[in-house]
């Protein structure tokens, strides 16, 4: 899909099922390297990042294929060699293979991981934490080399609750000797999903969902079947699309228990939101209301991955909204493209932007520059008067199975090319 064309101004109606979680599936795919035998991941999303991870696992000798119940992974043929550079550079989440491969093979050679351009995203936290477990790092010709004669448990304090660093420590610790106590751990639901998968394989882990996680390593792990939970970021994207474009929508299987900050923000914008066993039902206001401040924060705060979408809605809200970004310093790349659509956005540095709401956005040709910004432009297109074309949609495919199909199911006039 190279581009999306949207005829805006149509209120959304109906229901749409929320896909499996990208941010849960990728570290679980890395964790499958640690288990003997086959694992089957049900509800695994069919997105570009998952296909890239599959390519990496196959390059490493794993058997990976889609079958009736989902994605089947067997790492018995794992060959510990350098990972393919193209897939690593294109996907930040390949970094979670670091802890898994060090645990399984004792060594890793990989390109520095890439992904969306949303800031510097240093990996120092990962390296320092794994270093405390006995991993030695070096660099050669721009590649990262990691080795460990013997992984050992340690007491590790993360100065910031990094999701990726938390995942890497867990993945390394389950096969390490002794006990690892990780303090300052990330509390994101995706960490909980990773731990549930590993425990189903036989790992001993306690404290997931809190800032202190204890992993007792050295146990043999066996493959298992696991259901990937629904994607709270996709659910939030579609929720804000309804708030901005109008209408009423049922987000089937949306994980509302994990979306408190998002649902509260939607209500602050004037939406009516109900959560039930079916998912989340949202009824949009006649026009979104301004929110004094939306500030991103580690879970359970407002997720940085939904900041761009919230900004698109705030651009046409009734009043001024301040958006503060505390996780990544380059999350406002979408502001320039929204400006082409008539948004009045005052970027006040790398950490904040003031959205002075306009009565309506207007259709324009805009370019996606990263995953969540691309989704935000598609949402803005639904809200705008006239036709919007979003180009470079390869970014959107990294996290959304079929954005166009899902919006069409809700009545939007959307085509892809």
**Structure tokens, 213:** 């996680």
- Cα 288 from Cα 209, distance rounded (Å): 33
Q: Which part of the chain is CATH 3.65.10.10?
A: 3-19+230-416, 22-227
Active site residue 116: yes
Q: How far apart are the first and last CA of the chain?
A: 6
Candidate CATH numbers 3.40.190.150, 3.40.50.300, 3.65.10.10, 3.60.70.12; the one for domain 22-227: 3.65.10.10
How do beta strands 387-391 and 365-367 pair?
parallel
Fold category of 3-19+230-416 in CATH: UDP-n-acetylglucosamine1-carboxyvinyl-transferase; Chain (3.65.10)
- Cα 113 from Cα 96, distance rounded (Å): 10
Q: Nearest 5°: CA angle at 308, between 347 and 90? A: 110
Length of the chain measured in residues = 417
Segment holding 129, helix H or strand E: helix 124-131
Match 């400006």 to its residue by tokens.
Answer: 339
Catalytic residue among 116, 195, 214, 393: 116
- Cα 101 from Cα 151, distance rounded (Å): 12
Q: What is the pLDDT along the chain (417 residues), one digit of tens a residue?
A: 799 999 999 999 999 999 999 999 999 999 999 999 999 999 999 999 999 999 999 999 999 999 988 999 999 999 876 765 555 555 555 788 999 999 999 988 887 664 443 344 568 899 999 999 999 998 888 788 899 999 999 999 999 999 999 999 999 999 999 999 999 999 999 999 999 999 999 999 999 999 999 999 999 999 999 999 999 999 999 999 999 999 999 999 999 999 999 999 999 999 999 999 999 999 999 999 999 999 999 999 999 999 999 999 999 999 999 999 999 877 799 999 999 999 999 999 889 999 999 999 999 999 999 999 999 999 999 999 999 999 999 999 999 999 999 999 999 999 998
How do beta strands 3-7 and 12-17 pair?
unpaired
């Amino acid at each position: 899909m190279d581009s999306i064309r949207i005829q805006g101004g149509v209120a959304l109606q109906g229901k749409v099922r929320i896909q499996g979680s990208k941010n849960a599936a990728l570290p679980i795919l890395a964790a499958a390297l640690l288990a003997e035998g086959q694992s089957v991941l049900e509800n695994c999303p069919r997105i570009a990042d998952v296909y890239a991870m599959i390519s990496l696992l196959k390059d490493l000798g794993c058997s990976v294929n889609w079958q009736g119940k989902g994605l089947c992974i067997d790492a018995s043929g794992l060959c510990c060699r350098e990972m393919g550079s193209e897939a690593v550079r294109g996907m930040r989440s390949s970094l979670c293979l670091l802890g898994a491969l060090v645990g399984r093979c004792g060594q890793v050679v990989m390109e520095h991981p890439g992904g969306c351009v949303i800031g510097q995203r240093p990996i120092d936290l990962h390296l320092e934490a794994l270093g405390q477990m006995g991993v030695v790092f070096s660099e050669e010709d721009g590649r990262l080399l990691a080795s460990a004669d013997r992984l050992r448990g340690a007491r590790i304090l993360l100065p910031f609750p990094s999701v990726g660093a938390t995942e890497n420590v867990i993945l390394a610790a389950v096969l390490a000797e002794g006990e690892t106590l990780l303090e300052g751990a990330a509390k994101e639901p995706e960490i909980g999903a990773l731990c549930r998968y590993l425990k189903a394989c036989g790992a001993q882990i306690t404290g997931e969902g809190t800032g202190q996680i204890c992993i007792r390593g050295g146990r043999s792990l066996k493959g298992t079947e696991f259901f990937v939970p629904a994607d709270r970021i996709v659910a939030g994207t579609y929720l804000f699309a309804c708030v901005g474009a109008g209408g009423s929508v049922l987000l089937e299987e949306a994980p509302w228990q994990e979306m408190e900050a998002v649902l509260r923000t939607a209500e602050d914008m004037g939406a009516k939101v109900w959560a039930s066993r079916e998912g989340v039902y949202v009824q949009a206001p006649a026009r979104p209301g301004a929110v004094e401040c939306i500030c991103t924060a580690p879970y359970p705060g407002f997720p940085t991955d939904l900041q761009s979408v919230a900004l698109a809605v705030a651009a046409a809200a009734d009043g001024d909204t301040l958006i503060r970004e505390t996780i990544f310093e380059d999350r406002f790349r979408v502001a320039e493209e929204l400006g082409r659509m008539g948004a009045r956005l005052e970027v006040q540095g790398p950490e904040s932007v003031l959205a002075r709401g306009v009565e309506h956005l207007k259709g324009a040709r805009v370019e996606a520059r990263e995953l969540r910004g691309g989704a935000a432009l598609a949402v803005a297109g639904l809200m705008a008067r006239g036709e919007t074309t979003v180009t470079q949609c390869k970014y959107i495919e990294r996290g959304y199975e079929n954005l166009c199909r899902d919006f069409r199911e809700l009545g939007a006039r959307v085509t892809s090319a």
